[in-house]
Amino acid sequence: MNRSATPTVSATPMERPGSRPATAPGPGAPLLGAWRGIGRRLTGDTMIQCLVVLVLLAAWETVTRLGLVHPFLLPRLSSVLMRIGANVAAGTVFADLGLTLYRAATGFAIALVVAIPLGVLMARNAGVRWFFDPLISVGFPMPKISFLPIFILWFGIFDTSKIVMIAFSCFFPLVSATYAGTLGVDKWVVWSARSFGATQNEVLREVVLPMALPQILTGVQIAVPVALITTVVTEMLMGGPGIGGSMMQAGRFADSVGVFAGIVEIALLGALVVRAVERLRAYLLAWHPETRR
């Protein structure tokens, strides 16, 4: 993680260039590398970084206690933590976060169930590819969230429109990752499997999907944050229970402690989910060279 770019700053033996050669993320996951390293080893660097966080938190508390910032603009850290504690004790935080997580997970799962077969089909069948390739290459860079009012119009303001919106947003990164991953599978491996007498289904299950899995999981790692962002926006817009709705309500009643408590809660949920997906990747790809390096 902290492989030095410059030779002069190698403080600990572990940091010397070359001693941990391949910690740079693979080409498919350029944005996921920085997050991967935290908590891996308690080196001196990690301690300093924890200290930085503690100093920032202490500065937050001090500045607000001294009255340098209006408490409406930045409430005290201690009151935010107490609010979170009260939310935990009352159980509302679990209700809110649970509902948010349920919506995000359902939408994501629907997208996954549609996108993976379609991506595989696109890579294997010219007709399917012809039809869906332009639709996906046009749909991928569009800001999907702008379609939200259409889904509200069609499905109302309750869970259905939220979940459809989340599924629609997650679909594009998932399908293009699956398509690219399946297309990139080494033809020699497929041919070898065929020549050993594997059926189409066996080739798909035993060769193509495992070989495409790293790229599919990279798509998952892009789609999961998208699911969370979209869930929060839909909840803010449509109100009701869920962390986004609760934060919006707190904002409307000028309850900035509630808003900041919501931010801390959703940040924790985001961190947990992102970590869980990384664990899942390491577990599913235990056989893959990227895990062993």
Partner 1 sequence: MGSLANTAVRYAPLLIVLVMWEIIATAGPLSNQLLPDVMSVLAALWDLILDGEIIRHGLRSLTRAAAGFGLAVLVGSAAGLLMASFRPVRLLVNPVVQIFYPMPKSALIPVMMIWFGLGDMSKIVLIFIGCLLPVIVSSYNGARGVNPFFLWSARSLGASPAATLLQITLPAAMPELLSGIRTALAFAFILMVSSEFVIAKDGFGYLISQLGDGGAYASMFAVILVVAAFGFTADRLYGSFVRYQLRWREP
Residues 1-40 binding partner 1 (CB under 8 A) are 2-7, 9, 11, 17, 24-25, 30-31, 33-35, 38
Region from 48-56, 110-118, 174-182, 186-194 binding partner 1, contact rule CB under 8 A? 48-56
Q: Which of 86, 113, 267, 293 binds partner 1 (CB under 8 A)?
A: 267
Nearest CA among 135, 125, 213, 205 for reference residue 171: 135
Q: Closest CB to partner 1 among 15 and 202? A: 15
Residues 257 and 64: their CA atoms lie apart, in Å, by 12
Q: How far is the CB of 199 from partner 1 (least distance, A)?
A: 31
Measured N-to-C along each axis, helices 126-139 and 92-124 cross at an angle, to the nearest 10 degrees, of 140
Alpha helix (H) ranges present in the chain? 33-36, 44-65, 77-90, 92-124, 126-139, 148-155, 159-183, 187-195, 200-202, 209-238, 243-252, 256-284, 289-292
Pick out residues in 151-210 that bind partner 1 (CB under 8 A): 152-154
Angle at CA of residue 226, ends 224 and 232, nearest 5°: 105
58 binds partner 1, rule: CB under 8 A: no
Q: Determine the residue type at 238.
A: M
Distance CA 75, CA 231 (A): 26
CB of 64 to partner 1, least distance (A): 14
The yes or no reply on residue 66 touching partner 1 (CB under 8 A) is no
Does residue 276 touch partner 1 according to CB under 8 A?
no
CA 174 to chain centre: 12
**Site mask, partner 1, residues 222-261, x = CB under 8 A?**
---x--xxxxxx--xx-----xx--xx-xx--x-x--xx-
Q: Which of residues 101-140 bind partner 1 (CB under 8 A)?
A: 130-135, 138, 140
Please report how close the Cβ of residue 246 comes to partner 1 at its closest, in angstroms.
Answer: 10
